[in-house]
Structures are given as structure tokens and as C-alpha cells.
Copies of this chain bind each other. A is one copy, B any other.
Amino acid sequence: MKKAYILLAEGFETIEALTPLDVLVRSGVEVRTIAIGSGYDVRSAQGVAVMADGVLSTTDLSDGSALILPGGYPGYENLGKSSEVLRWVSEYYNSGKVVAAICGAPTVLALAGVGHGKEITAHTSVVGELSDYQVSDADVVCSGELITGKGAGLSLPFAFAVAEALTSAEVIEDVKGKMEL
């Protein structure tokens, strides 16, 4: 079974983090939520208190196949301020693993210095910080193993793109059916 890690910082966007979790679990992927601060409890930008499965300082993420970076304010800024987060983003990207970022979180890719020149998408409000990329207006962009989504309203297609990268189109069709899509 493949494993995906979702990084949770204070102020993460609720559905940008938890829609990928939902779809990945439904797709048969093991998902672990990892709080990047000192405690397991993290509060989303919309006030949801989530107890993460682990904390970054004591978790080795190297057995994962995908690293997921939700946006949300100030969640994405908190991700970008963490040298541990930037190190894992770089390690995943350079190992050819899936790195997925949505909304404001593509700025974390920039701070980690990965994927320069690639086509990505991101929230309109952060496009100015992404001059090292070809920023598209698309809802979701898959540039090899680099998957980006534009904003919270695109959480579901973003989640399906990540899940399909880890499983198959057949699995995703089955999952969509059970979700009444």
C-alpha cells in the first residue's frame, strides 16, 4: 500500500487538506497527517481542530510516495517558514516522488527551490511570488510528479489528480462512483 503525507500547519485550509485525505483513503492509499509544529493538535483557517497522526520533528517521511501541501492563510506561510518542510519538499521532488501543492502552497515549492521552469497553477493572490514558474490559469496542473491546484474550490479535482498519480484511472472511476460523481 502506498503512503501519502499531508503536512498540517496552523491555519491550513480545511478542505484543501482533508479532501485529498478523503479521496486518497477511498483510493486505498495510506494517509498520515503530520503537524509541523510541536504539538499534534492543529487548527485550520476555518477553525477546525484536528489531531494529527504525527509531528514532523519526530516522523521520518522517507517511506512516503507523496507529500501534500495544503494552502490556507496563514497555513501556507507557516509551511514556507519551516526549514524541515522545505527539506522534505526538496527530498521528495528530487527522489521523483509526488509533490502536490494547492492555493498558496505552491509558494512553498518556490522557497524549497524545486521545479523551476515547470508549469504550475496557484491561487491568483500568490502568482506574483512564482516568477520562476510557468504559471497557468488551469484548475489543476500535473507536470510530471509535481501536481498543483488553484484554490479551495478545486480541492476535489486536485485530490483526484494526486490519487490517480498513486493508483490508476480505474481506481479513481470506482471512487468517483461511490462519491456519486
Q: Check: A181 CB closer than 8 A to any chain B CB.
A: yes
A171 → chain B, closest Cβ, in Å?
15
Residue A47 at the chain B interface, CB threshold 8 Å:
yes
Asked if A18 and B48 sit within 8 Å, CB to CB, the answer is: yes
Q: Which of B46, B103, B124, B179 contacts A21 (CB 8 A)?
A: B46
Q: Which of A33, A103, A139, A179 has the most CB of B within 10 A?
A: A179
Q: Does A154 contact B (CB under 8 A)?
A: yes
Is the Cβ of A124 less than 8 Å from the Cβ of B48? no
One of B33, B41, B46, B179 near A25 (C-beta < 8 A): B46
Interface size class of A (residues with CB under 8 A): 20 to 34
Q: Determine whether the beta carbon of B15 is less than 8 Å from that of A19.
A: yes
B19 & A47 in contact (Cβ 8 Å cutoff) = no
Bound-state CA distance A56–B142 (Å) is 44
Complex interface: stretch among A82-90, A92-100, A145-153: A145-153
Q: A15-B18, A15-B19 are in contact. Are A153 and B156 (CB under 8 A)?
A: yes
The 10 closest A-B pairs by CB, nearest first: A151-B180, A153-B179, A153-B181, A49-B51, A25-B46, A152-B179, A150-B180, A14-B22, A15-B22, A22-B46
